[in-house]
Amino acid sequence: MIVAICLISLLIAIPGFVHKAGYSFSKALIPGYNIYLFLTLIEFPPVLLLLLALGLIFLPDRMFIATFICIILPFMTNDAYGKGKISSMLTLFLPFFMYPFLGYFSGVYAYDVTSEKYRFIKNHKILCILLVFFSVYMYSNFTVLVEGNKLVNKDDFHYVNDIYMSDGKIYNDYLNDREKKMYEFMFKNTLAFKNKLDVDMSEFGCIDYSDCGDLINSAHEAILIDHPELINYAGYSWIYREDSGFKLTLNFSVGNMISAKIGEMKIQRIIDNIKTETKGMSDIDKIHYVYEWIGENNDYDKTFTYMSKNQSIYNVFMKNNAVCAGFAKASQVIFQNIGINSYTITGNSTGPHMWNVVELDNKYYFYDSTVATSARNKETSWYYDGLKQDFMSSYTVDHAEWYPKIEKTNGLYIKE
């Protein structure tokens, strides 16, 4: 029975993981290769490695395998797929509490006549100690509070967290009433961690399912620009069937409210340190600093480019790898916190892309920190300081009307 459950779990979890990351389902079924991709994808955190090591040491082989496949693997799958908060809260506790119960009810940890003790109690104590260390680790590294952003109005519709204050510019100035209504629908459900949504097409005035899809895309693009601080929102997908109607799925970068809140607090601490380090700098030096900070602390994820987590500032600050959307949003929230006026911007370079516009001496320039994550060597010819406009001459903007006039020349702002 355990073997059957393990095999079923593998067939469901690993191919789903790899397919989610942008690989074909057939490649996800290749034995060995899919395991490698899975381990790469979840980035095996040190705490989880320690948990698995203790499992290997103190659990019989069959119990360790069963626990890993049936508990830890679904937990990681749940996080990657962005499931609901109730499911996430349950799986958050399962890895700690299911070890002793599995051992006890399977009969593996029977009564030891020699020691006159149940052997599973020893393992339970070890795992409780691990839980204590894990809690201390989480508190000391993620949950220490810093002073919030004084600019944030927590009663505002657009308030998400203290990382960033959104003015809702795209929502307020460029969306029509139907687009605003869809924006509100997607935004509120994202904040509530609800990602499986039924869309009443008549409520939004949709002519047909295609029109409704266009409406969702307009709201999506506006949310991306207005809310770089929205940790869990990565994108969307939808499907329409005559028998079941219009179904909208919001793709989450962070699967549960607990992880998001912990991440927000950690990011606040990092930004607070950046505020201290950039205090007293000129605006041009601040821009250079942010460009180099992104590049020195992050890698571009070429393997799992389309993974939901890579679209969020969460991965930039917490995992140190992402793609253009994550880097542009992270730059945006840092810029606001250190006093640089900027915008996130979507368009095309060598393909669909996201970058920034920054203001300097009342002029606006393209800024692309994604390049910094690739050109790690400052001596290379294509490393630049974030304001080399001729480098970005081929960039095209999706919604030019959303932004001020962009300078096409370098001006005086090249750092030699």
Alpha-carbon distances, residue 131 vs 47, 67, 70, 87, 209 (angstroms): 10, 16, 20, 20, 49
- Identify the sign of the CA torsion 210, 213, 219, 221: negative
CA–CA separation, 162 and 150 (whole Å): 8
Residues 264, 397: one domain?
yes
Residues 222, 293: one domain?
no
What is the pLDDT averaged over residues 293-317? 84
> What pLDDT is attached to residue 81?
42
- Cβ atoms of 372 and 365 within 8 Å: the answer is no
> What pLDDT is attached to residue 83?
43
Q: Does residue 149 form part of some domain? A: no
Residues 238, 263: one domain?
no
> What pLDDT is attached to residue 45?
54
Q: Which of 152-156, 275-279, 322-326 has the lowest average pLDDT?
A: 152-156
Instruction: Compare 243 and 149 and report the one with higher pLDDT.
Output: 243
Domain end residue (candidates: 203, 229, 252): 252
Which region, left, alpha or beta, applies to residue 361 given φ > 0 means left and ψ of -120 to 50 means alpha? left
> If we measure between CA atoms, which residue out of 341, 2, 31 comes closest to residue 14?
31
Residues 235, 318: one domain?
no
User: 129-138, 260-269, 407-416: which has the highest mean pLDDT?
Assistant: 260-269
- Cβ atoms of 284 and 363 within 8 Å: the answer is no
Contacts 24+ apart (CB under 8 A), 205-208: 205/178, 206/246
Q: At what angle do helices 33-42 and 73-81 cross, to 10 degrees?
A: 60
CATH number of 355's domain: 3.10.620.30
> If we measure between CA atoms, which residue out of 61, 90, 66, 68 comes closest to residue 78?
90
Domain end residue (candidates: 252, 283, 310): 252
Q: Does residue 305 form part of some domain? A: yes
CA–CA separation, 309 and 253 (whole Å): 4
> What pLDDT is attached to residue 313?
95
Using a 10 angstrom Cβ sphere, with 0-12 exposed, 13-18 middle and 19 or more buried, the burial of residue 138 is middle
User: 80-84, 142-146, 285-289: which has the highest mean pLDDT?
Assistant: 285-289
- Cβ atoms of 386 and 290 within 8 Å: the answer is yes
Per-residue pLDDT at 329 exceeds 50: yes
Q: The tokens 């020893």 sit on which residue?
A: 122
Task: Report the Cα 193 to chain-centroid distance in Å.
Answer: 13
Q: Does residue 325 form part of some domain? A: yes
Beta strands across the sheet bearing 245-252: 196-199, 245-252, 233-241
Q: Does residue 317 form part of some domain? A: yes
Per-residue pLDDT at 275 exceeds 80: yes
The tokens for 296 are: 């020195």
What is the pLDDT averaged over residues 319-326? 89
Q: Which of 149-153, 180-184, 366-370, 401-405 has the lowest average pLDDT?
A: 149-153
- The whole-chain average pLDDT of the chain stands at 75
Q: Does residue 19 form part of some domain? A: no
Q: State the SS3 of 37-88.
A: HHHHHHCCCHHHHHHHHHHHHHCCHHHHHHHHHHHHHHHHHHHHHCCCHHHH
| Range(s) of the domain holding residue 184 | 169-252
Residues 265, 244: one domain?
no
CB atoms under 10 Å from CB of 393, counted, come to: 10
Q: Which of 91-95, 198-202, 263-267, 280-284 has the lowest average pLDDT?
A: 91-95
CB atoms under 10 Å from CB of 2, counted, come to: 14
What is the pLDDT averaged over residues 190-206? 93
User: 227-241, 243-257, 263-277: which has the highest mean pLDDT?
Assistant: 227-241
Contacts 24+ apart (CB under 8 A), 122-130: 122/58, 123/58, 123/59, 123/99, 124/99, 124/100, 126/54, 126/58, 127/54, 127/96, 127/99, 127/100, 130/50, 130/51, 130/54, 130/96
> What pLDDT is attached to residue 390?
73
Per-residue pLDDT at 345 exceeds 70: yes
Domain end residue (candidates: 142, 160, 190): 142
> What pLDDT is attached to residue 70?
53
Q: Does residue 1 form part of some domain? A: no
Which pTM value belongs to this model?
0.72
Per-residue pLDDT at 399 exceeds 50: yes
> What pLDDT is attached to residue 108?
46
> What pLDDT is attached to residue 127?
52
Q: Which residues pair with 86 in a beta bridge?
A: none
Residues 284, 359: one domain?
yes
Q: Which of 25-39, 314-328, 383-397 has the lowest average pLDDT?
A: 25-39
Q: Which of 58-72, 257-271, 307-321 has the lowest average pLDDT?
A: 58-72
Q: What is the pLDDT of residues 352-384, one digit of tens each?
A: 999 999 999 899 999 999 988 877 666 666 677
Residues 61, 106: one domain?
yes
What residues have CB less than 8 Å from 263, skipping those under 6 apart? Answer: 142, 231, 254, 314, 317, 318
Residues 136, 175: one domain?
no
Query: How many domains does the chain contain in total?
Result: 3
Residues 270, 244: one domain?
no
> What pLDDT is attached to residue 110?
47
CATH number of 211's domain: 3.30.1370
Q: Does residue 9 form part of some domain? A: no
What is the pLDDT averaged over residues 109-125? 50
Q: Percent of the chain having pLDDT more than 70? A: 59
Q: Which residues pair with 111 in a beta bridge?
A: 118
Residues 203, 280: one domain?
no
Per DSSP, which regions of 189-287 are E strands? 196-199, 233-241, 245-252
The tokens for 306 are: 């389309």
> What pLDDT is attached to residue 164?
93
Residues 263, 391: one domain?
yes
Residues 263, 384: one domain?
yes
Q: How many residues does the chain have?
A: 416
**Helix (H/G/I), strand (E/B), else coil: 198:** strand
Q: What is the pLDDT of residues 160-176, one digit of tens each?
A: 998 999 999 999 999 99
Per-residue pLDDT at 221 exceeds 90: yes
Residue 366 parent element (H or E): strand 363-367
Q: Does residue 202 form part of some domain? A: yes
> What pLDDT is attached to residue 36?
60
Q: Percent of the chain having pLDDT more than 90? A: 39
